[in-house]
Each structure stands twice: as C-alpha cells, then as structure tokens.
C-alpha cells in the first residue's frame, strides 16, 4: 500500500529530516512510527500522504510513484488518504459540521449525500451532538476527534495520524487509540506516529522506531 | 454533474462572500461602476455627435460664382459645362435676385441691403459632388475657375473632412480613456481579491491539505472577481443611462436652433451586453492575477 525506498528529505536550510528510509506498509496493516521529536516521524507521514515531496528515493502509494505525479494529481491522491494533523488544522470560523464537510465539498459531493456522510463520521468519533459547535468551544480531545472525523469522511483506504495522542491525558489517548484500532479492524491501512510508546502499548501492531531520520528497528509486537 | 456542482458551489460561495459584507461590496462595485461609467458616457457622447453629424449633409459642395457682368448666355454656357463634368451629382442655380431675397429674409441686413443702389450678389451655382476625393474636387474647381465669366469657385468640403478628423480624434480619446479605466478596473479587482485571498489563507491551506487542487482553490475567487466586474458593468450602465438622460434633456432644448436634431444616442442592446461581459472579463482577469500570485507566495512560504 505504501512503500518507501531509500527516501531522503532535505529541507531548505540543510536540515536532513530523513536519511535513506526504506519501509513497506501492507494493505490493511497498522503501523506505529515511534521516536523522539525531531526523529523525522512527521516528515515520513507527510511524504506518505503526498503533502510533501521526497528529495531522494521513491515513495509509492497505492502503486503510484508520488515523485512523478503533478501537483493536481497529488492533490487528488490526498483525497483518498485521511490525514490527522498534529496541530489539527481546523477552520475556526466554521462549525464542526462544516469542518468535516470540507473534503466532500472539494470533491463536489451532492449535498444530501455529503450531510449523511458528515453525520456518520461525527457519530463515529462521538461528536454528533456537537455538529453545530465551533471548534473553539470544543476541548482538545474533541478537536482531535473532529480532525479524525474530517480524515475519515471521504472513506479513505489509508488513514495517517501524526501524534494523535500528543497532548491528551491517558483516558483520552486510550479512546483515540481504540478509535484507530477500530478503523484498522474494518480493513483500513493505518499509519500513526507517537513519541510516547506507552500510549500505543495496548495496540497489537508493528512498530517502526525512527531516530535521526533513519529506521532503527522494525519489530512486530 | 460533479463539475457543474463545483461551479455552482463556487458561484454560491462568491455570492455569499459579497453578501457577507454588503457595505464593502457595494462601495467596491460603486468604485468600479463609476470608473467604467466615465468612458461609457464619453462613448455615448461620441456616438451622439456621430449620429448628429450623419444627419447633416456632409457631401462636398462646390459653389461657382459668376462675374457680376455675366450675361444670361454666359450663365447658360457655364451651367452646361458644370453638368458635363462627371463628378457633379447635381447642379443648382441661384440667381442674384434669389440670393438677395434670401439674404434679406434670413438676416437683419435688410436696411443695409436696401440702401445699396444695386444688387452686390452674383449669380451662382451650387454643385453637389459625387466624390469626396480632394484631388478630384480640386481638379474640377481649377477647370471651372478657368471658364469665361466665372469669378470665383469655392469648395467648402474641408469642414466635413475636419469633422471626420475630429471624430476620429474623439474616438481615439474615448478609446484611450476607456483602456486606462479598464486597466484601473482590473487592478482594483486584483487588489480586492488579493485581500480576500489573504483573509482566507487558513481555509486555502486546509483545503489544499485535504485534497483541493490549485483550480479548486482558485474557482471561488475567480467567480468573486467576475461577479464584481459583472455588477460593476451593470452599475456603469445604469450610471451612464442616468447621465445620458440628464445631458439629453439639455441637449434637446438646443435642438430648435439647429437644422439637425440633437439627441443622445445610448448604447445598443449588443453594446450593453458587451460592456457587462467585458467588465466581468476584467474582473476575472484581475482575480486570476491576484490569486495566482498569492498562491505562489503561499507555496513559497511552506
């Protein structure tokens, strides 16, 4: 589903975030990328989602070489990948409902069909009752779940989450991890990152440790 | 259908944006409308002058004045020569008596004329020419002035050529003003859309993150610009119509003192449609340049 071959990523200014990462995530698999902050986890996820381009090596997603895709094709590919951003990237002048509806509006979904899907996604993350709420009125955990609802509203085959348990307390973190596990159970390929291995300790999934932009070990749990 | 829905959504989005700040939108549209109304009014005036001039007899005429001592045979011989000239379309004879009577009736010189012991006016011909070519008229004029007992030949076609030259000059001025103000409209719309893009920067960024292409991001802004242009074109049309009516009421009051009827000729339906469509196109152009530039800057910032 996702295949990295000797991928490097260098940012302007010389920072080398990834140094020759080779990694394969099979269809329907769930993989946790662990490592300290600055290890290159976010970069790896962004490359997998087509949000950034690799400086070297190849990134294949669903058989497509992202390096050879044009900007428009890359944007269209992003519609098939759900991404949960570390900083949520919510629109604070729109209701929860409208935030979740954004990816569908971009695709030109019929209104009623879109509303049905938005409500299904909100129900999935337990925010159906808050659909009219503005993001500022939501707690940190609720904002996180709203971001997940937006990521799954397009029913993607791949779900990528950058530090989804980041600054949540243990109970919230467990609920979020369980949520991802439930997507994994229904066949969605899940790729998530965390700097706190304890929060994913309960998950039965492969862990890939990243340090200084390189893969340390790839062990099954 | 998806394609149509995306466009309808973008139009709806643009209209909501315009409606969400009604005062700002009205002021913008008024500014653009006034800018466009100026060349439209100038064009209407040019068109009106053109229509009035067309009502005048602009065909060149040549006046042939006989010597005062010309005998009736001389007059008949000259008339024959004039009629034989192929460029002469019509030859009208005005006898010296007729000319005097006309002068007495149309001017206040009756007392002066009555005090003269003899009629100072000559017999004359007015020749309407078939051609407006200056060389050929000059040739005819030279040939006729050599005829016996012809005193003077005056060709008063220069004024119609002057009029045509002034009309061309006027059209050029209107065109220049129109181009300048059309440029101003495109720049103003570009500025307005740039502000819109900047205030919606977060929305653009998030949309791109969840799969919006550059075209998806541009679409509502392009409609916004085009709609602003469209409304401005309509406003310009309304303003120009009001100004034309206002000027027209004074102009028609002038009519009795002139032979040709003076009236304001407003734009034809096709011209009106072209104005509104052109204004929308200017809005689209301004929006396109602004969005393309801002999106490039956003991309560079990331």
DSSP labels, chain B: -HHHHHHHHHHHHHHHHHHHSHHHHHHHHHHHHHHHHHHHHHHHHHHHHHHHHHHS--S-EEEEEEPTT--HHHHHHHHHHHHHSTTEEEEEEE-HHHHHHHHHHHSS-HHHHHHSSS--PPPEEEEEES---HHHHHHHHHHHHTSTTEEEEEETTHHHHHHHHHHHHHHHHHHHHHHHHHHHHHHHHHHHHHHHHHHTHHHHHHHHHTT--HHHHHHHHHHHHHHHHHHHHHHHHHHHHHHHHHHHHHHHHHGGGSSSPP---PPPHHHHHHHHHHHHHHHHHHHHHHHHHHHHHHHHH-
- For an interface test with A, give the residue of B12, B211, B220 to mutate (most A CBs within 10 A): B211
Q: Which residues contact B216 (CB under 8 A, 6 or more apart)?
A: A75, A106, B6, B207
Q: Which position has the higher pLDDT, B151 or A188?
A: A188
Is the minimum CB–CB distance between A51 and chain B shorter than 8 Å?
A: yes
Using CB atoms, pick whichever of B6, B208, B210 lies closest to residue A108: B6
- For an interface test with B, give the residue of A107, A108, A159 to mutate (most B CBs within 10 A): A108
Using CB atoms, pick whichever of B2, B202, B213 lies closest to residue A75: B213
The pLDDT of residue B57 is: 56
The token pair that represents B9 in the structure block: 């959504």
The pLDDT of residue A28 is: 93
Contact B201, A92 (CB under 8 A): no
Which contiguous run of DSSP H or E holds residue A178? helix A170-185
Percent of the residues in chain A that have a pLDDT greater than 70, as a whole number: 98
Query: Can you tell me whether residue A136 is helix, strand or coil?
Result: helix
The pLDDT of residue A221 is: 43
pLDDT-based confidence at A189, cuts 50/70/90?
very high
Residue A59 has pLDDT above 90, yes or no: yes
Mean pLDDT along residues A79-97: 94
Distance CA B273, CA B264 (A): 19
The pLDDT of residue B160 is: 67
Burial of A68 (0-12, 13-18, 19+ CB in 10 A): exposed
Residue A159 has pLDDT above 80, yes or no: yes
Which positions in chain A touch B203 (Cβ < 8 Å)? 91
Per the CB < 8 Å rule, is B9 touching A108?
yes
Q: Give the A:B interface size as CB pairs under 8 Å.
A: 53
The residue of chain A nearest to residue B208, with distances taken between CA atoms, is A75
Distance of CA B241 to the CA centre of its chain: 15
Per the CB < 8 Å rule, is A89 touching B206?
yes
Is the minimum CB–CB distance between A216 and chain B shorter than 8 Å?
A: no
- For an interface test with B, give the residue of A53, A87, A102, A154 to mutate (most B CBs within 10 A): A102
Low-confidence residues of chain B: pLDDT under 50: 257-259
CA distance A193 to chain B (A): 18
The pLDDT of residue B86 is: 83
Return residues 107-136 of A near B (CB < 8 Å).
107-110
Per-residue pLDDT tens digits for A109-158: 898 999 999 999 999 999 999 999 999 999 988 999 999 999 999 999 99
CA distance A72 to chain B (A): 5
Give the phi and the psi of residue A217 in degrees, each rounded to 5.
-150, 150
């Amino acid at each position: 589903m996702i295949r990295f071959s000797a991928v490097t990523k260098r940012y302007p200014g010389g920072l080398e975030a990834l140094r020759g990462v080779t990694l394969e995530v099979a269809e329907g698999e769930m993989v946790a990328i662990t490592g300290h902050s600055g290890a290159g986890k976010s970069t790896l996820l962004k490359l997998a989602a087509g949000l950034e381009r690799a400086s070297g090596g190849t990134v294949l997603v669903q058989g497509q070489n992202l390096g050879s895709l044009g900007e428009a094709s890359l944007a269209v590919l992003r519609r098939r990948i759900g991404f949960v951003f570390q900083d949520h990237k919510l629109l604070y002048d729109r209701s929860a409902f409208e935030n979740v509806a954004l990816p569908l509006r971009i695709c030109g979904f019929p209104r009623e069909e879109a509303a049905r899907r938005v409500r299904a996604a909100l129900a999935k993350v337990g925010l159906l009752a808050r659909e009219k709420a503005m993001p500022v009125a939501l707690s940190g955990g609720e904002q996180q779940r709203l971001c997940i609802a937006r990521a799954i509203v397009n029913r993607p085959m791949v779900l990528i989450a950058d530090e989804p348990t980041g600054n949540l307390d243990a109970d919230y973190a467990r609920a979020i991890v369980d949520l991802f596990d439930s997507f994994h159970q229904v066949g969605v390929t899940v790729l998530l990152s965390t700097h706190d291995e304890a929060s994913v300790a309960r998950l039965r999934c492969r862990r890939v440790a990243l340090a200084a932009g390189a893969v340390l070990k790839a062990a099954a749990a | 259908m998806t394609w149509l829905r995306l466009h309808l959504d973008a139009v709806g989005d643009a209209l909501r944006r315009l409606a969400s700040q009604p005062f700002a939108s009205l002021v913008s549209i008024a500014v653009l409308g006034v800018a466009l109304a100026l060349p439209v009014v100038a064009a209407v005036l040019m068109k009106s002058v053109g229509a009035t001039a067309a009502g005048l007899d602009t065909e060149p005429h040549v006046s042939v004045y006989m010597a005062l001592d010309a005998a009736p045979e001389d007059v008949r011989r000259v008339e024959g020569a004039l009629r034989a000239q192929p460029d002469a379309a019509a030859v009208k004879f005005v006898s010296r008596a007729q000319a005097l009577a006309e002068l007495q009736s149309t001017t206040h010189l009756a007392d002066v004329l009555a005090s003269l012991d003899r009629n100072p006016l000559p017999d004359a011909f007015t020749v309407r020419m078939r051609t407006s070519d200056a060389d050929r008229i000059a040739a005819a004029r030279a040939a006729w002035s050599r005829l016996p007992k012809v005193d003077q030949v005056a060709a008063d076609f220069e004024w119609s050529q002057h009029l045509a030259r002034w009309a061309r000059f006027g059209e050029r001025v209107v065109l220049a003003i129109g181009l300048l103000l059309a440029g101003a409209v495109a720049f103003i719309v570009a500025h307005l859309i740039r502000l819109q893009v900047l205030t919606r920067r977060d929305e653009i960024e998030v949309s791109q993150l969840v799969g919006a292409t550059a075209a998806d991001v541009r679409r509502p802004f392009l409609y916004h610009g085009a709609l602003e242009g469209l409304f401005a074109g309509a406003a310009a049309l309304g303003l120009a119509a009001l100004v034309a009516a206002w000027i027209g009421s004074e102009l028609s009051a002038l009519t009795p003192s002139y032979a040709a009827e003076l009236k304001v000729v407003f734009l034809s339906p096709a011209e009106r449609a072209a104005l509104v469509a052109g204004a929308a196109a200017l809005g689209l152009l301004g929006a396109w340049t602004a969005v393309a530039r801002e999106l490039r800057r956003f991309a560079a910032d990331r």
